[in-house]
Structure 1
Amino acid sequence: MSDIMRHVPFDVPEPFRRFLHGETGSMLRVEEFQDGSTMVVRAELPGIEPDRDVDITVSGNTLTIAAKREEKSEYRGKHNYRSEFQYGAFTRSIQLPQGTREEDIKASYTDGVLEVRIPTPDQDSAPSRKVPVSRSAAGGHGSAGLGTTDATSEATAPGQFPGTPPVSE
């Protein structure tokens, strides 16, 4: 799409240009990984003031990161301005592990990267129990008719379908 935009003979409004480039906007892109017993979520948010522009909330088992980046218009000129930065409000919700304590969640902002560290609760240490699988005798009805043959069906001649009368020649 960007190749088409290079050949357009008129100025395309910024929001429309971003849409054509696939920058639909409001979803915050993150990376998420496990660091030992801690879930780590990172979001690249350069050019923001974390105290003012970031809001991290926990509701139930959902962590929501909301951020905003305001566009500064001091560089805008009629023919000499180009910006590929994204501006506006961005949000992302992440499912937290069951039993996460919100008071243990910590966030930091360094060099344009927001990092949220979520200690994951110890998983239930109860031993797992193997569930035995019973096996029915051959020809039993344990398979609900799948892949079984009906002993009462009539034999069919080659090329004849079950339930159709035999063809006499």
Structure 2
Amino acid sequence: MSIGPWRPWRELATTPNEMLRSLISGFGEMSPRIDVYQTDHEVVATAELPGLVNKDDVEITATEDTLTVRGEMRRSEEGEERNYFHSERFYGNFSRTVSLPVQVQPEKATATYKNGILEVRIPRAENQKQRRIPIDLH
């Protein structure tokens, strides 16, 4: 798997079924932007979760090859009572699942949240050795 910049419009254009599913399942649902990189020992994912995010409103799940971040951004109680003239900030459910570049150990994952950035660190699986396969000529 190659890592490159996220191009949401290209992804929508290449997966029309996914676009239709997202339209049907949840108008207004946002997908946080996520960067994923790997080191010799771990895979690190950082996600933008600005605003009013409470750790109890965020759920992080991982398998051996995927990471999912989902949750809800809520308005402050004060804001719910206001009669807004103009509002552009996102409030509501969010969800994002990304494939990981290598197999990981999800049971050893850790997460931190600081200044609007969620960071998830997952150790690489120990048996991720590549083996060159010789070709027999007949």
TM-score using structure 1 length: 0.53
Q: Which has the higher Rg, Structure 1 or Structure 2?
A: 1
Of 104, 107, 125 in structure 2, the residue corresponding to residue 103 of structure 1 is 107
Instruction: Give the letter aligned to residue 85 of structure 1.
Output: R
Task: Give structure 1 regions of 4+ aligned residues with deviation exceeding 3 angstroms.
Answer: 74-78
Q: Which residue of 1 aligns with 2:39?
A: 35
Q: Which residue of 2 aligns with 1:89?
A: 93
Structure 2: segments with no counterpart, 5+ residues: 1-22
TM-superposed CA distance for 1:50, in Å, is 3.8
**Residue aligned with 1:82, SS:** coil
* Contact kept? 2:53, 2:72, Cα under 8 Å: no
TM-superposed CA distance for 1:102, in Å, is 1.7
**C-alpha RMSD of matched pairs (Å):** 2.7
Higher relative contact order (CA 8 A, sep 6+): 2
TM-score using structure 2 length: 0.63
Mapping of 1:27-66 within 5 angstroms? Answer: 27-59=31-63, 61-66=65-70
* Contact kept? 1:50, 1:109, Cα under 8 Å: no
C-alpha distance after superposition, 1:96-134 (max 9, x if no partner): 433x22221110001111010111124225x41231455
> How many residue pairs were aligned?
109
Indicate the structure with greater helix content: 2
* Contact kept? 2:72, 2:94, Cα under 8 Å: yes
Identity %: 33
Q: Which residue of 2 aligns with 1:16?
A: none
TM-superposed CA distance for 1:24, in Å, is 4.7
Inter-CA distance 133–48: structure 2 relative to 1 (3 Å threshold): farther
Structure 1: segments with no counterpart, 5+ residues: 1-18, 135-169
Q: Which residue of 2 aligns with 1:12?
A: none
Inter-CA distance 33–75: structure 2 relative to 1 (3 Å threshold): farther
